[in-house]
Structure 1
Amino acid sequence: MPEEQQNLFSGEELAAQTSDPAARIEALRREIEHNSYLYYALDAPAISDGAFDSLMHELRALEAKHPELIDPSSPTQRVGGYVGEQFAPIQHERRMYSLDDAMDAGELDEWLGRVEDFFGEIPPLVCELKIDGSSVAFTFENGRLLKAATRGDGTTGEDITVNVRTVRDVPLRLRDEALSAIRDTEEPIELRGECYMPKSSFESLNAAAEANGKSGFANPRNAAAGSLRQKDPQVTAHRDLSTFVY
């Protein structure tokens, strides 16, 4: 295991290492930043999604308890993500958010309470399974795909247009039925969704990598993100990716 990955702690282990709130908060921030870099920049996570969520949960709880220690550079103060250097940056016209986590029924009840406070009542709710891949913003102009960008840090994403054009279920031109529903086709429109890798394709990809003596991806989510961020679009074209546009 690389030296940089040897000193990884869970939230509970970090809490045991120090009892000073400021020191614990700083330790959590550094650990989250390190793992965010491994996940988003290198597509090589060193801990599970659950362990990462626990770190974030611990940090949010401590900052809520000690608001005087909140810093603008804290991982809790921005949308999770990493803007790499190998692709041109794209500024999102509207911020792209990530989903909040509820670790238990109590946190879900708290969320429902906030919803009720905002609306005055709890409105009808829709629940659906999360498609776990890479969030992508697709921009169409005059019905044709103009550009595609990752979420990045929520404000600035990466231009992955060339790679996205190789994903077969991404339309390079919108169908007439879709265009007829748009009042002004002269104005660019943005569609947001998820680009993901089906589990069967993920298993086949890792099996092929193992057969060639190479390391595979940790999970389908990272396989999708890594496939979209290939320097050679031909590599992306040979990956079995699918999209779901919201």
Structure 2
Amino acid sequence: MPLGGVFVIDVLGIPAESKVVQKWTLENLATSTEIQYLGYPIPAVGQTAPSAQQLLNLLPFEIDIILPSFIIHWNPNPEIGWWDTITETWQTEGVSDIAYNHETFKVLFQTTKAKPHAVIQSRVREYPYKSWNCRPTSEKTALFTLKTVMSEVVFKVGDGWCQLVQPSFPVVADLLTQQFPPKVLLQQLSRRGLQIMPEDDDAQYCGVKVKVSDVQRLIQTTSSCNYLLMQDRTPLPC
């Protein structure tokens, strides 16, 4: 999944330069009002696609860009990928020499793709969950601890709100002092690189099976009824 937005790298056509002939300046009159996207590598004159030789001898672009300061970087250098419109997936082939400055938030890398690029991270990095527990801290609050395969996340929870306690990285400092509706806080964490909102489609990538909702609902209903029967101590009539 992309973090911090997408930046687009394109090779564009530009109008022909003017020419000076004797005392006259000749200007090329462009009739098109649309941007011309050339792609990369640029096909030879008269060709609609680059040749096999061109594809073998690609020279990379050197890209220098400032990343958003709120992204959590789990590794010294972020992973950069480009969007493949054919497979509709993020790819890293052709991206190399990534160097990130944690003080200036500047990333320098090389790529042979004139495509949309982004800092990318696996959606299932934190899955499957290892354990969780909820410990009351008062009559109306509790600490909820979630342990994943990579992290330990702690929330303070109350009536309709929650607040991040851990991790306490500088990039999430603003989340440590405010109370949010649960969904809003989880979305903020996901946007920054801590994705703990699993979807059914994620299960196939982390070795777990999705629970059948009807069966789960039946088990919960049955368990609840059994609990009520066990707790019912109304004296039976003689």
TM range (shorter): under 0.3
Give the TM-score normalised by structure 2: 0.19
**Structure possessing the higher radius of gyration over alpha carbons:** 2
TM-score (norm 1): 0.19
Q: Name the one with the larger helix percent.
A: 1
